[in-house]
């Protein structure tokens, strides 16, 4: 947050901030009136212009969000007080959810707190009661409608009533939807996209031949050594007194990547591997910003984007000699998660086949809210419930020596399936197809409101309301010391990271994205249950 220059203070404000501007102009007029009377009208205009161009630190400060929040709270109190039966429609539910997500994203950016003093004068809260909101109709040349919602409804019904209002939009919306069988009246589901449907109806053998061979080769290729060398060369002059080491991780390294996948890289500067930060510190951001100029001036790298507001800030680069895009970060947990996935895929190859298929299916469904890592954890949890994989808790529990990154254990016992007394699943086409169908059926009927996907315990029906009590002592102690870093359980979908136990990897998934995911899973399971494997014959 910043205090803008006076000449720009209002130009970029939205229409609903008009009340704030009126307050500002009123204060300027009061200041002008305090100046001794001047006979000349020209001089009076000069004084008014000078007052408008004052140093912004001497102006009263009012954040637009403060004014909007005040209006919202007043309306909320009025509705709650006047109506005994509180009502909710679908549009309001969507808006309230967007408001909550917007507040979380705003707070996640760690806005700067402006403190009174240093010339900053805050508008007193009681002064906000003097401001009243008015509604204008832009279709009627900004005609003032009134100050209450009832006036707005009356105006729209009298002046803008149309028998086909919204029909075109509704028709366009219904083109991509179909009615649900046996569902309540009006219930609609999202139709599985054509590309995803083609994937489901095709022979999995072709997909595995194309994807598995490429993904397996991409785990180790000579280009990675070249990228590592160029990265150390360009960064060593920036941090000459710090030890530096490069760790590669992500879908390319685990064995489920494609040629278009990014290469994730953790740069350990000054032996910070064991350091954990729930949100990036100023020191971490400082290192990231120090890297940017050298990448800009280098002839071997091209900066695509710098994302500082993310939970794990990254620099997105393109290595010009190899053409591979890289995500540079300063957090070691991604590398630790990759080690766990590599062990699982090597121990139970069927898991790698299923994750390759699920990742391809997710891309074709265009469910961007659900990440590749999230769908991989869902596959692992499903296989744990079927007795094909061990829980992460059991792998870490029998460790003689634990390695920690902050409060989280990042190493585990790399036992064979024979030691774990688990069967090695077949990887023939029919077995994979049957298990994939069971996977999509499972998540189409999963109770997301009561239970979470928990690969750490790997057991069925882990309840959301009790999961924190089941966590180990290191989790409880960390949350007690850092209450703002608790596991985000009040989300439509909860998939817990098996290493960083306070991280819900699907916290950004909205209720409507989850519903689309459930609909797609249901249709995919249904299509996989059909006898024919030729999708052209089916259609």
Q: Which segment of 6-20, 174-188, 379-393, 506-520 scores lowest on mean pLDDT?
A: 6-20
- The per-residue pLDDT for range 339-355, each reduced to its tens digit, is 999 999 999 999 999 99
- CB of 176 within 8 A of CB of 191? yes
3-state secondary structure of 325: strand
Q: How far is residue 461's CA from residue 454's CA, in Å, rounded to a whole number?
A: 9
Query: With 90 as the cut, is the pLDDT of residue 122 above it?
Result: no
Query: With 60 as the cut, is the pLDDT of residue 21 above it?
Result: no
pLDDT at 148: 74
Helix intervals (H) in 2-148: 18-33, 41-52, 64-82, 90-108
- The per-residue pLDDT for range 143-153, each reduced to its tens digit, is 667 777 777 77
Q: How far is residue 385's CA from residue 388's CA, in Å, rounded to a whole number?
A: 8
Q: How far is residue 80's CA from residue 224's CA, in Å, rounded to a whole number?
A: 60
- The per-residue pLDDT for range 75-111, each reduced to its tens digit, is 887 777 766 667 777 788 778 878 887 887 777 777 7
pLDDT at 507: 95
Strand partners, 189: 178
* Cβ neighbours around 502 below 10 Å, total: 19
pLDDT grade for 118, boundaries at 50, 70 and 90: low
Supply φ then ψ for residue 444, to 5 degrees.
-80, -20
Q: How far is residue 257's CA from residue 325's CA, in Å, rounded to a whole number?
A: 13
**Mean pLDDT of the region 280-293:** 94
Q: Exposure pattern of 361-371 as b/e (b: 16+ CB <10 Å)?
A: bbbbbebebbb
Q: What is the CA radius of gyration of the chain?
A: 29
pLDDT at 101: 79
* Cβ neighbours around 64 below 10 Å, total: 13
Query: With 90 as the cut, is the pLDDT of residue 30 above it?
Result: no
Nearest to 108 by CA among 477, 512, 498, 508: 508
- The per-residue pLDDT for range 295-310, each reduced to its tens digit, is 999 999 999 999 998 8
Nearest to 352 by CA among 383, 390, 324, 391: 383
Q: At a CB cut-off of 8 Å and minimum separation 6, what does 416 contact?
A: 347
pLDDT grade for 191, boundaries at 50, 70 and 90: very high
Query: With 80 as the cut, is the pLDDT of residue 268 above it?
Result: yes
Nearest to 390 by CA among 355, 417, 358, 424: 417
**Where on the phi/psi map is residue 271: left (φ > 0), alpha (ψ -120 to 50), or beta?**
left
pTM, 2 dp: 0.67
pLDDT grade for 411, boundaries at 50, 70 and 90: very high
pLDDT at 102: 82
pLDDT at 313: 95
Nearest to 67 by CA among 21, 110, 17: 17
Query: With 90 as the cut, is the pLDDT of residue 336 above it?
Result: yes
């Amino acid at each position: 947050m910043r205090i803008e220059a006076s000449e720009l203070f209002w130009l970029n404000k939205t229409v609903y901030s008009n009340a704030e501007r009126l307050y500002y102009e009123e204060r300027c007029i009061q200041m002008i009136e305090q100046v001794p009377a001047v006979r000349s009208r020209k001089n009076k205009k000069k004084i008014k212009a000078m007052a408008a161009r004052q140093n912004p630190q001497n102006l009263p400060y009012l954040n637009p969000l403060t004014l909007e929040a005040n209006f919202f709270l007043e309306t909320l109190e009025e509705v709650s007080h006047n109506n005994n039966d509180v009502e909710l429609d679908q549009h309001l539910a969507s808006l309230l959810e967007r408001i909550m997500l917007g507040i979380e994203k705003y707070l996640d950016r760690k806005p700067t707190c402006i403190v009174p003093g240093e010339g900053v004068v805050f508008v007193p809260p009681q002064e906000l009661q003097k401001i009243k909101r008015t509604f204008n109709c832009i279709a009627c040349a900004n005609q003032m409608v009134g100050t209450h919602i009832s006036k707005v409804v009356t105006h729209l019904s009298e002046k803008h009533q149309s028998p086909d209002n919204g029909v075109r939009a509704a028709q366009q919306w219904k083109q991509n939807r179909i009615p649900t069988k046996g569902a309540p009246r009006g219930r609609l589901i999202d139709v599985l996209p054509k590309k995803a449907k083609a994937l489901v109806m095709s022979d999995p053998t072709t997909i595995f031949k194309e994807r598995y061979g490429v993904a397996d080769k991409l785990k180790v290729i000579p280009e990675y050594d070249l990228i590592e060398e160029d990265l150390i060369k360009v960064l060593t002059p920036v941090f000459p007194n710090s030890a530096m080491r490069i760790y590669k991780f992500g879908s390319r390294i685990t064995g489920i990547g494609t040629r278009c996948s990014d290469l994730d890289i953790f740069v350990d500067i000054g032996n910070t591997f064991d350091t954990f930060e729930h949100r990036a510190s100023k020191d971490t951001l400082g290192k990231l910003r120090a890297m940017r100029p050298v990448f800009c001036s280098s002839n071997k790298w091209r900066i695509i984007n710098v994302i500082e507001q993310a939970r794990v800030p990254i620099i997105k680069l393109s290595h010009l000699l190899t053409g591979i895009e890289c995500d540079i970060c300063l957090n070691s947990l991604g590398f630790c998660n990759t080690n766990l996935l590599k062990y699982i895929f090597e121990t139970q190859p069927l898991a790698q086949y299923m994750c390759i298929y699920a990742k391809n299916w997710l891309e074709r469904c265009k469910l961007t809210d659900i990440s590749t890592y999230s769908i991989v954890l869902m596959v692992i949890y499903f296989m744990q419930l079927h007795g094909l994989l061990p829980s992460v808790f059991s792998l870490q529990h029998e460790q003689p020596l634990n390695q920690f990154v902050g409060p989280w254990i990042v190493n585990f016992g790399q036992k064979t399936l024979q030691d774990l007394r688990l069967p090695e699943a077949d990887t023939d086409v029919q077995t994979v197809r049957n298990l994939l169908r069971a996977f999509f059926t499972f998540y189409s009927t999963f109770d997301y409101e009561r239970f979470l996907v928990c690969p750490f315990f790997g057991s069925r029906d882990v309840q959301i309301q009790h999961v924190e009590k089941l966590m180990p002592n290191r989790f409880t102690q960390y949350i007690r010391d850092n209450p703002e870093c608790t596991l985000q359980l009040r989300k439509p979908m909860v998939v817990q990271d098996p290493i960083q136990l306070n991280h819900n990897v699907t916290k950004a998934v909205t209720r409507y994205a989850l519903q689309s995911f459930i609909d797609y899973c249901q249709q995919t399971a249904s299509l996989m249950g059909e006898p024919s494997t030729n999708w052209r014959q089916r259609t």
